[in-house]
Amino acid sequence: MPSPKSAAFPSVAQAVLLFVALFLCELVIGAALRDANGWLRLTSMQIGVLAAVLGNGCVFAAVMHSQGLGYRSLFHQSRASAGAMLMLVVPPVLLLVPALLLTLTSALNIMMRIAPPSAWEEAMFSRMADGSVAAVLAVCVVAPLLEEMLFRGIVLRGFLTRYPRWQAIFISALLFGAAHMNIYQFIVGLVIGTVLGWLYERTRSLIPCIALHAAYNTTTLLLGDWLDAASPSRLLWAVLMALAAAVCGVLVLRAMLMPRAARDGSSA
């Protein structure tokens, strides 16, 4: 008889199948919406957002029913209250965003010089940053909410009961990056996914994860062009301020979330 640990859902193989099922659901729903677009009159971005919401809804409903999960436990499994998580953990988490944005933007700029994006990738990035209501909702609201529910709320939650914690965090981050299906977002997803994975493992709540994810995506939309056009002196000040904010955020999070033994330098 398998132990509860070995039987925990999902395994890595099950997580991959879950993503394939989600991709197929979104593909079928998107195709149906495009066929009906003669009277719906939706843009391609609006169709993509609606297909993502409906596709995720189908997959979440099936998984949560089969696993006996409720949305309350999915979003917030922590013993701390949701209000305390929002008021005490989210502010220092948001202090990490500027440093993540500057680091990843610099890395992506270097990557794009070495390996320029294809025409398909450029068109996709342009649609995501076109400033339309659908694009803003997709990047700043829908993606953070649905991706955190899936990758941290279901996948990492199961991995943490099945694998050692850093193995679970890294594999979930690897899958998170790979699910974006291009090398540029893979790098971003791997880094952000590792941070989000650690945050979820420490808090067992999606509240700070969604806040960080949404803040990063929103800041990228708002400041991406400014960073590309900033003078060296302004960029230097931005880097110094981002580093200062990140140090403050890390110190506060370490004090709140790290076990006392780990803070004292002994094994947890």
Nearest to 188 by CA among 111, 95, 253, 93: 111
Identify the band that residue 210 occupies on the pLDDT scale cut at 50, 70 and 90.
very high
The pLDDT value recorded for residue 267 is 42
The pLDDT value recorded for residue 211 is 97
Does residue 198 surpass a pLDDT of 60?
A: yes
Question: Is the omega angle on the peptide bond into residue 144 within 30 degrees of 0, that is, cis?
Answer: no
Domain total in the chain:
1
For 109, half-sphere exposure in the C-beta direction (CA atoms, 13 angstrom radius) is 11
Q: Is residue 153 part of a domain?
A: yes
Does residue 202 surpass a pLDDT of 50?
A: yes
The pLDDT value recorded for residue 266 is 44
Q: Kindly report, residue by residue over 31-65, the tens digit of the pLDDT.
A: 988 888 777 677 787 888 888 888 888 888 888 88
Beta bridge partners of 32: none
Strands annotated E in 101-219: none
The pLDDT value recorded for residue 268 is 39
Write down the residue that tokens 């947890």 correspond to: 268
Q: Is residue 244 part of a domain?
A: yes
Q: Is residue 97 part of a domain?
A: yes
Residue, of 249 and 4, whose pLDDT is higher = 249
Cα dihedral sign, 263-189-147-99: positive
Identify the band that residue 203 occupies on the pLDDT scale cut at 50, 70 and 90.
very high
Task: Name the DSSP class of 137.
Answer: H
Q: Is residue 192 part of a domain?
A: yes
Q: Is residue 173 part of a domain?
A: yes
The pLDDT value recorded for residue 7 is 65
Does residue 5 surpass a pLDDT of 70?
A: no
Q: Is residue 50 part of a domain?
A: no
Identify the band that residue 99 occupies on the pLDDT scale cut at 50, 70 and 90.
very high
Q: Kindly report, residue by residue over 109-149, the tens digit of the pLDDT.
A: 889 888 888 888 888 888 777 777 888 888 899 899 999 99
Does residue 251 surpass a pLDDT of 70?
A: yes
Identify the band that residue 229 occupies on the pLDDT scale cut at 50, 70 and 90.
low
Identify the band that residue 222 occupies on the pLDDT scale cut at 50, 70 and 90.
confident
Q: Is residue 155 part of a domain?
A: yes
Does residue 262 surpass a pLDDT of 70?
A: no
CB–CB of 26/50 below 8 Å? no
The pLDDT value recorded for residue 242 is 93
Q: Is residue 38 part of a domain?
A: no
Does residue 91 surpass a pLDDT of 90?
A: yes
The pLDDT value recorded for residue 186 is 93
Least confident of 54-58, 165-169, 189-193, 209-213: 54-58
Structural domain harbouring 162: 78-256
